């Protein structure tokens, strides 16, 4: 099956297709016997890369449920978390169910081939003649934030009855402010993260890297090698993984923060980054960050810190969690905690530190709760703190997180905050201990955190 346009040709063999730009000669026969997925972006035909897919079913199900609905599907997430691959998997799903290749239009604006379309009018004029009038057209616009005033093209495509529209972006800014107002009621957003621990363990099996690893060894690999999907393809080669993480970190910092916010003092920005990375899971304020850095010889004002923190949050590298007064049932405006989208980048930048294990586990629990659709807060008590107050449509669950509670005094300390809560909502203590997992402490369930991450789904 073959469909040709001025700039692209799509070839379909069995359930696989390749999107290529300006291919000089048609290719009528391609064999994909040993390939799960084929990417030819930037390669000559014949330079076929063997790729293996990690099934991210929860995300795929979101797209499947939203198929053919008159609403824009927005997938946001940190760079390299797997958004483009999710679209590849979903397009395979479409073609396997009878969608013809000429019904699929796919553009990735990080490819230089589409650089000439980074004007909303040129983009719209390019796509419009490709639309089939008598069939549904599936339009994928990847990394759409590179297109100036892209919302105008998106809105014009959205109002067409025969367009099912999907877009991605690598920062929160692209769906904020005036744009969100313009598209209010017209889009649903899937907030995508790098691999969960459960997905990472599946990836180890797919790439045949984890056959002899224990659960704790897999956890250590997850922390050190990162949760970005492509890192698994590097076969646990530390030098390659460090270079890959350096590329992601520099790309996010320079493209999503420095360039967009027009920051001139990059070294000061990096100092703020290191401070926040070092203090994940600790209560902070922008004034505290500014004062601490200034006292350590890096003079910076609170307003600059606020600007940098906002940029880091909009790049989706870090997340801010505000406090909630459990007894007064009020949201608090002062002091907050920060967590990272990927611990591997932190390990790369700061190195591993055994004393940080509690905060690192806390970070991963936060991300897992985020994946499961909770609204998350830090629980404030008069004489204590609960790590997470997690709220969803079913109610509230309280979580306390510790690396280990084998010491009796540590166990009593971690339980004490949960015991001060008088309501009857579920209370859970998560640790890395196998000993004690399954225990019930007067209604507080103790669970192994890794088993909890492996066995639960969204």
- CATH 3.40.50.300 domain residues, the chain: 2-192
What average pLDDT does the chain have?
Answer: 88
DSSP helix/strand/coil, 284: strand
What's residue 51's pLDDT? Answer: 59
Give the confidence band of 210 by pLDDT, cuts at 50, 70, 90: confident
Count of CA atoms in the C-beta half-sphere (13 A) of 374: 22
Long-range contact set of residues 159-163: C-beta below 8 Å, sequence gap at least 24:
160/131, 161/70, 162/131, 162/132, 162/133, 162/134, 162/135, 162/136, 162/137, 163/131, 163/136, 163/137, 163/139
3-state helix, strand, coil in the chain (%, to 5): 45, 25, 35
Question: Using one digit for the tens of pLDDT, what is the confidence trace for 120-163?
Answer: 999 999 999 999 999 999 999 999 989 998 989 999 999 999 99
The residue among 155, 457, 145 whose CA lies nearest residue 314 is 145
Contact partners, residue 218, CB within 8 Å, separation at least 6: 197, 200, 201, 204, 210
pLDDT of 277 higher than 90: yes
pLDDT at 4: 33
Q: In degrees rounded to 5, what are phi and psi of residue 144? A: -70, -15
**CATH fold of 2-192:** Rossmann fold (3.40.50)
Q: What CATH number is given for 353-458 in this structure?
A: 3.40.1350
CA–CA separation, 164 and 7 (whole Å): 21
- pLDDT of 343: 97
pLDDT, mean of residues 181-185? 77
pLDDT at 353: 79
pLDDT digits over 425-443, tens only? 999 999 999 999 999 999 9
36's CB contacts (< 8 A; 6+ apart) are 50, 51, 52, 53
Q: Is the pLDDT assigned to residue 32 strictly greater than 70?
A: no
What pLDDT does 171 receive? 82
Instruction: Give the DSSP letter of residue 258.
Output: I
Q: How many alpha carbons fall within 13 Å on the CB side of residue 314?
A: 19
Listed in order, the ranges of the chain carrying CATH 3.40.1350 are 353-458
């Amino acid at each position: 099956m073959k469909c040709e346009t001025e700039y692209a040709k799509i070839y379909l063999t069995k359930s696989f297709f390749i999107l290529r730009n300006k291919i000089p000669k048609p290719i009528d026969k391609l064999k994909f016997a040993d390939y799960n997925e084929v990417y030819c972006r930037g390669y000559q035909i014949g330079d076929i890369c063997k790729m293996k897919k990690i099934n991210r079913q929860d995300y795929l199900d979101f797209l499947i449920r939203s198929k053919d609905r008159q609403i824009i599907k927005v997938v946001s997430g940190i760079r390299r978390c797997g958004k483009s691959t999710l679209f590849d998997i979903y397009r395979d799903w479409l073609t396997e169910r009878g969608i013809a290749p000429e019904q699929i239009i796919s553009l990735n604006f990080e490819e230089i081939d589409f650089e000439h379309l980074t004007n909303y009018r040129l983009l719209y004029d390019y796509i419009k003649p490709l639309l089939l009038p008598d069939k549904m057209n599936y339009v994928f616009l990847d990394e759409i934030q590179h297109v100036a005033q892209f919302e105008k093209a998106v809105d014009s495509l959205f109002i067409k009855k025969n367009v099912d529209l999907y877009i991605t972006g690598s920062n929160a800014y692209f769906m904020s402010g005036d744009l969100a107002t313009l598209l209010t009621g017209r889009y649903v957003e899937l907030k995508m993260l790098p691999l969960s621990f459960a997905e990472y363990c599946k990836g180890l099996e797919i790439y045949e890297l984890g056959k002899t690893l224990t659960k704790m060894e897999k956890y250590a690999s997850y922390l050190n090698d990162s949760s970005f999907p492509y890192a698994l393809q590097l076969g646990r080669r530390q030098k390659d993984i460090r270079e890959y993480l350096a590329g992601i970190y520099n790309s996010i910092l320079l493209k999503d923060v420095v360039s967009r916010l027009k920051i001139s003092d990059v070294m000061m920005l990096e100092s703020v980054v290191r401070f926040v990375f070092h203090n994940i899971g600790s209560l902070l304020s922008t004034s505290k960050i500014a004062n601490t850095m200034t006292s350590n010889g890096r003079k910076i004002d609170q307003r600059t810190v606020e600007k940098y923190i906002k940029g880091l949050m909009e790049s989706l590298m870090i997340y801010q969690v505000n406090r909630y007064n459990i007894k007064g049932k009020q949201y608090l405006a002062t002091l907050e905690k920060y967590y990272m989208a990927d611990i591997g980048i932190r390990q790369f930048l700061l190195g591993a530190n055994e004393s940080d294990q509690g905060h690192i586990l806390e970070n991963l629990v936060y991300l897992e709760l985020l994946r499961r659709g909770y609204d998350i807060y830090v629980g404030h008590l008069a004489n204590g703190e609960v790590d997470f107050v997690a709220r969803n449509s079913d109610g509230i669950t309280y979580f306390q997180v510790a690396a280990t509670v084998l010491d009796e005094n540590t166990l009593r300390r971690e339980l004490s905050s949960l015991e001060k809560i008088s309501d009857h909502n579920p209370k859970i203590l998560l640790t890395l201990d196998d000993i004690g997992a399954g225990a019930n402490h007067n209604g507080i369930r103790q669970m192994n955190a890794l088993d909890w991450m492996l066995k639960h789904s969204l």
